């Protein structure tokens, strides 16, 4: 498939997913309340819960409207559905803006806040750890001896969360290693993973590895897979789109890169990254030969 054909196909495929992703978002918002589900079947509104280490307290409306204080421990919790920590969202945004080292620092408070719930299904702790590993890899820093990435901690996590962390570790461990066998190893991760986020991050890294080899067309094709197959992961999808647009510029196809970003804005009109995208478009705009300006 030619690059121009893939550009068109990628845009069409992503747009075909927009209604599905929108419906999924609505359904998630409707069917999943933010609460702590206890093993006895009781659900406690997350807004009512205060945590102190492994112990939790909730003040609820009891019989006759009288306040009821409920105390429970970590061992009593079956799963949680709670808001994403603001620090985690901040770290994701920093990664989109290319500030990986800052992202690695920004996510640390989220890891601390959610550490008590790390072994509970629905906890944000594994997500925060994955973002920290991602940020360290993007910043070119080692993840050796990273707290939380050790086998003892991973054994405490729900299996799907442990798998996602281990897959991100595999991706991070080969960052900038452009050997052909390395690329095949990451392609295997992208193919086998059950996580749409890991699949997208794997293709982002494959694109990076191809770029390091000087194979920019292959890199762009890999980056384009990120928004197509991981479109629900908005921040990650934009990282792939930006990388592809920049790659197209290096291939002397800046207008195709600009069109790619315009398509993204059309499909994501409420994006919080509009200023970033417009700034990127300006950088891609060919300079006027007479004035030397974009």
Q: Is the pLDDT of residue 222 over 90?
A: yes
The answer to whether position 294 is within a domain reads: no
Q: Is residue 293 part of a domain?
A: no
What is the C-alpha separation between 258 and 249, in angstroms, rounded? Answer: 9
Whether the pLDDT of residue 185 is over 80: the answer is yes
What was the pLDDT predicted at 27? 39
Residue 141 in any domain: the answer is yes
Torsion of CA 177, 181, 185, 188, to 10 degrees: 140
Residue 291 lies in a domain: no
Residues 24 and 150 in one domain: yes
Region 192-221 average pLDDT: 95
Looking at residue 2, its pLDDT comes to 59
Domain final residue pick, 63, 81, 99:
81
pLDDT at 291 over 80: no
Question: 47 and 192: one domain?
Answer: no
Q: Which of 24-38, 114-128, 272-286 has the lowest mean pLDDT?
A: 24-38
How far is the C-alpha of 206 from the C-alpha of 216, rounded, in Å?
Answer: 11
Whether the pLDDT of residue 20 is over 60: the answer is no
- Residue 95 shares a structural domain with residue 76: no
Residue 5's pLDDT is 62
Q: Which one is predicted more confidently, 43 or 1?
A: 43
Q: Do 138 and 268 reside in the same domain of the chain? A: yes
Q: Tell me the mean pLDDT in the region 34-42.
A: 95
Whether 39 and 111 share a structural domain: no
pLDDT, residue 288, reads 61
Residue-wise pLDDT for 44-82, tens only, equals 999 999 988 889 999 988 777 788 899 999 999 999 999
Per the structure, the complete domain to which residue 42 belongs is given by 35-81
Domain boundary among 23, 47, 81: 81
DSSP the chain: --HHHHHHHHHHHHHHHHHHHHHHHHHHHHH--SEEEETTS-EEEGGGEEEETTEEEEEEE-GGG-EEEEEEEGGGEEEEE-PPPHHHHHHHHHHHTT-HHHHHHHTHHHHHHHGGGTTSTT-SHHHHHHHHHHHHHHTT---TT-TT-SHHHHTTS-HHHHHHHHHHHHHHHTTT---HHHHHHHHHHHHH-S-HHHHHHHHHHHHHHHHHTT-HHHHHHHHHHHHHHSTTSHHHHHHHHHHHHHHHHHTT-HHHHHHHHHHHHHH-TT-TTHHHHHHHHHHHSPPPTTT---
Could you tell me if residue 161 is inside a domain? yes
Whether residues 21 and 153 fall in one domain: yes
Q: What is the mean pLDDT of residues 224-235?
A: 93
- Check residue 11 and give its pLDDT: 55
pLDDT in tens, 231-248: 999 999 999 999 999 999
Query: Domain of 230: which CATH number?
Result: 1.25.40
In a domain, 268, yes or no: yes
Per-residue pLDDT tens for 143-184? 877 877 888 899 999 999 999 999 999 999 887 676 778 899
Mean of the per-residue pLDDT values of the chain: 87
Q: Counting Cβ atoms within 10 Å, is residue 172 exposed (0-12), middle (13-18) or buried (19+)? A: buried
> Within this chain, do residues 109 and 248 fall inside the same structural domain, yes or no?
yes
Query: Is residue 190 assigned to a domain?
Result: yes
Lowest mean pLDDT, pick from 18-27, 35-44, 190-199, 270-279: 18-27
CA-based nearest residue to 175, from 146, 233, 135: 135
Percent of the chain with pLDDT over 70: 86
- Parallel, antiparallel or unpaired: strands 55-61 and 49-52: antiparallel
Which two three-digit tokens encode residue 181? 């066998």
What predicted TM-score, i.e. pTM, was given to this entire model?
0.85
Per-residue model confidence (pLDDT) at position 18: 45
Confidence of residue 271 (pLDDT cuts 50, 70, 90): very high
Tally of domains in the chain:
2
Whether residue 68 is found in the same domain as residue 210: no
Are 77 and 202 part of one and the same domain?
no
Mark whether 192 and 264 lie in a shared domain. yes
Give yes or no: residues 53 and 125 share one domain. Answer: no
Tokens representing 246?
């920049």
59 and 183 in one domain? no
pLDDT at 1: 58
Asked if residue 73 belongs to a domain, the reply is yes
């Amino acid at each position: 498939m030619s690059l121009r054909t893939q550009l068109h196909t990628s845009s069409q495929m992503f747009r075909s997913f927009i209604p599905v992703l929108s419906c999924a978002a609505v359904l998630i918002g409707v069917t999943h309340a933010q609460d702590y589900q206890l093993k006895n079947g009781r659900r406690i509104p997350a807004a009512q819960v205060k945590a102190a280490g492994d112990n939790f307290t909730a003040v609820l409306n009891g019989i006759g409207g009288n306040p009821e204080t409920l105390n429970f421990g970590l061992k009593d919790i079956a799963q949680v559905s709670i808001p994403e920590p603001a620090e985690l969202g901040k770290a994701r945004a920093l990664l989109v803006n290319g500030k990986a080292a800052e992202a690695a620092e920004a996510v640390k408070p989220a890891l601390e806040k959610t550490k008590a719930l790390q072994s509970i299904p629905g906890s944000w702790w594994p997500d925060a750890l994955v973002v920290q590993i991602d940020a360290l890899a993007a910043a070119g820093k080692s993840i050796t001896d990273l707290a939380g990435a050790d086998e003892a901690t991973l054994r405490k996590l729900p299996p799907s969360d442990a798998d996602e962390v281990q897959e991100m570790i595999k991706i991070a461990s080969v960052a900038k290693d452009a050997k052909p066998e390395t690329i095949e190893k990451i392609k295997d991760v992208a193919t086998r993973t059950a996580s749409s986020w890991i699949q997208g991050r794997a293709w982002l890294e494959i694109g990076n590895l191809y770029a390091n080899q000087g194979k920019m067309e292959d890199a762009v094709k890999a980056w384009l897979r990120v928004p197509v197959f991981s479109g629900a992961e908005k921040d990650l999808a934009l990282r792939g789109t930006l990388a592809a647009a920049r790659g197209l510029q290096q291939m002397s196809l800046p207008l195709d890169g600009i069109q790619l970003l315009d398509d993204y804005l059309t499909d994501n009109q409420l994006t919080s990254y509009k200023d970033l995208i417009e700034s990127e478009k300006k950088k891609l705009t060919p300079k006027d030969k007479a004035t030397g300006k974009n």
